[in-house]
Chains A and B, each alone.
Chain A
Amino acid sequence: MSCTNKRHILEIDELSVSFLQYENSRSSRQIELPVISKLSVSVHEGEIVAVVGSSGSGKSLLAHAILGMLPYNARTGGKIYFNGELLTPEKIREYRGGRIAFVPQSTTYLDPLMKVGEQVRGGRNSSGGKDSGRGGRPSGGRRNDPERRKKQRALFARYGLSEETDAKYPFECSGGMTRRVLLTSALMGNPELIIADEPTPGMDLALAKKSMEDFRAFADEGKGVLLITHDIELALEVADRIAVFYAGTTIEEAPVSDFASEQLLRHPYTRALWRAMPQNGFQPLPGTQPYVKDMPAGCPFGPRCENYSRECAGEIPMQRVGCGTVRCVKYHGEPLAVHEHHA
């Protein structure tokens, strides 16, 4: 059973990302370094789904993997569906910047030598079509298109970016301004899905709230938001569902309502995370997430889990329990069958 019969906008089925690296500085042998393994998460229409994980756990790579922007030495496995359609590298090139928009994490994502207004106008046309590049109008033309100029101005005005900001270079913008610029650039197309990678740090509370409200309003139009963040409180505030990211994989996906009490949560790590929150006792969990090079077999949380058993070292499938999913041997729910939607 599923707790929603809404249409899937994004479905990620057992995504794996690994990097080929030289073993060490003297060796010419390459080894494969897995950074994301068997990650599954889905976004339905009208939903904000937050992928919550600690800093440096490879969350940003998830966004890059969906958008097909991983560096050349990366290998991927698993499948990604967008509106029920398998996202091939060709499809993602067609959709990104149009039907799928990206709000990046850091302020270095703006070209230091181009005025911000011009940069925001420079993306793909709102139709999300195949018009960019060969045969299409060059972006220089689009940057001066009056329609796009109007839209960009309206979006800037909505986020309190004055008309002078249009002609500013990124180095002249404050951190908060840059965040807003990045956000507006995602809204320039008419996306059905926004992938936002830590969109709020550097914004003041009011502004962070405002951008979250905008994500909410955007999702309420029947669209989807995948919010990648380390900020679980922010996630609890705005998201509908939360996917907990641990050591390169999602160990639990639960509706926000399940975070009301520890008993409703499934995975031991999620419970530990819950206990670590200030309002729930502020209890830290000893230990750290394993580094990719010494990942334990089976459950990545195993070495820190109080209920560790021999079974935990084996293959653990993602299973549906209640309205969420979990990857833990203690549960014997329905196995997750992503493909049923595409039959």
Chain B
Amino acid sequence: MLKHNLWFAGKSFLRMILLLIAVSIATFALVSVSPIDPLQANVGQAALGSMSEEQKEKLRSYWGVDTPPAERYINWAKDAARGDMGTSLLYRQPVMDVIKVKLANSLFLLALAWLISGALGFALGVLAGIFRGSPADKAIKGYCLVIASTPAFWLALLLLIVFGVWLKVLPIGLSVPIGMEAQDVTFLDRARHAVLPAVTLSITGVSNIALHTREKMIDIMESDYVLFARARGESLRDIVRGHALRNVLLPAMTLQFASISEIIGGSVLVEQVFSYPGLGQAAVTAGTGSDVPLLMGITLITAAIVFLGNFIANLLYGVVDPRIRRGGREG
């Protein structure tokens, strides 16, 4: 059993390394073909015009414009392999330091949205699945379909207008109050600033999870074993508690961990709307500013987070599902 687990962990680790290499190559390739000229984007046309050739040359080498992409990638990869992710060109700080700060800002937001959308989506999906065709099911389905076809940034703007501008109950952006000393910022201040982005992400995340859970729940409620449980005289409550929840938990777990990638993806847009200084916003800044080291760092970190989420789901499967737990032991 232990040997089996070690083998599984080792294989997964190897897979993650391969995935990260592939992601880094893809990201680098995309950035190299990006039409953005780093000098024009970061220094500006007017400023460039007033510079001497010498100064421009310096800038070109700073942004790495002269070096061929393949060579730049290999240089980056050599350092990355040693654990040196380089220095952000825009923030002029080590990439890892920038990511640490931004991730710390985002993590609260992401975790909150992840938990709310997961719990709410699961509950709504289960409810709709059990009472399929009922008004509750129709309402839930309708809500999910409307939300699923609504762009996240538009929803973010809507919430911002309603709660930030009209009702003035929540801040319109940023992660801390404007003009306040860093040491005076309380947890409550941070939480208040995270509410709108987190709610936006949760609302959009709910629909996907709820619709998938509903579908699974319908399958289960129509399954032979639920039919047989009814034939044995089990009440709806017994069936839901004894059979349905148990069986829907496994697909729900997969969904929940797979949704990490969607939450992170959504955060890029939502943080932009709320000017929330998190990882998503940093990714946009790095991308439009041709800050290749930072962009690579953020991409790799998020890829690793998504991978770890799926890895945890796989591990939990082995714990929760007896077919894997016992089957693996025997096989």
Interface residues, chain A, with chain B CB atoms under 8 Å away: 64, 67, 69, 71-72, 96-98, 101-102, 104, 106, 108-114, 122-124, 128, 132-134, 136, 138-140, 169, 171-172, 182, 185, 188-189
Q: Which residues of the partner chain A approach B327 to less than 8 Å between Cβ atoms?
A: 171
**Interface majority SS (helix, strand, loop, mixed), chain A:** loop
Q: Which one of A72, A106, A108, A139 contacts B242 once the chains associate, using CB atoms below 8 Å?
A: A139
Q: Name the interface residues of B221-259: CB closer than 8 Å to any CB of A.
A: 222-225, 227-238, 241-243, 246-247, 250
Query: With the chains together, A102 CA to B241 CA distance in Å?
Result: 22
Chain A CB within 10 A, most for which of B232, B243, B246? B232
Chain A CB within 10 A, most for which of B238, B323, B326? B238
A108 touches B225 (CB 8 A): yes
Q: Which residues of the partner chain A approach B133 to less than 8 Å between Cβ atoms?
A: 72
A102 touches B231 (CB 8 A): yes
A341 CB to closest chain B CB (Å) equals 26
**Interface majority SS (helix, strand, loop, mixed), chain B:** helix
A189 touches B233 (CB 8 A): yes
Query: With the chains together, A136 CA to B326 CA distance in Å?
Result: 34
Q: Assuming A123-B232, A134-B237, A172-B326, what are 19 further A-B pairs, CB within 8 angstroms?
A: A71-B222, A72-B133, A96-B231, A102-B231, A102-B232, A111-B225, A112-B247, A113-B243, A113-B322, A114-B243, A128-B233, A133-B236, A138-B241, A139-B234, A139-B241, A140-B242, A169-B322, A182-B228, A185-B232
Query: With the chains together, A138 CA to B242 CA distance in Å?
Result: 9
Q: Which residues of the partner chain A approach B227 to less than 8 Å between Cβ atoms?
A: 64, 69, 104, 109
Q: Which residues of the partner chain A approach B233 to less than 8 Å between Cβ atoms?
A: 96-98, 123-124, 128, 132, 189
Q: CB of B321 within 8 A of chain A?
A: yes
B234 touches A134 (CB 8 A): no
Q: Which residues of the partner chain B approach A182 to less than 8 Å between Cβ atoms?
A: 228
Q: Which residues of the partner chain B approach A133 to less than 8 Å between Cβ atoms?
A: 234-238
Query: With the chains together, A132 CA to B238 CA distance in Å?
Result: 8
B235 touches A111 (CB 8 A): no
A25 CB to closest chain B CB (Å) equals 19
Query: With the chains together, A124 CA to B234 CA distance in Å?
Result: 6
A104 touches B231 (CB 8 A): yes
Query: With the chains together, A185 CA to B323 CA distance in Å?
Result: 22
Q: Which residues of the partner chain B approach A102 to less than 8 Å between Cβ atoms?
A: 228, 231-232
Query: With the chains together, A133 CA to B240 CA distance in Å?
Result: 11
B326 touches A109 (CB 8 A): no
A228 CB to closest chain B CB (Å) equals 14
Q: Which one of B231, B238, B241, B326 contacts A169 once the chains associate, using CB atoms below 8 Å?
A: B326
Query: With the chains together, A101 CA to B234 CA distance in Å?
Result: 12
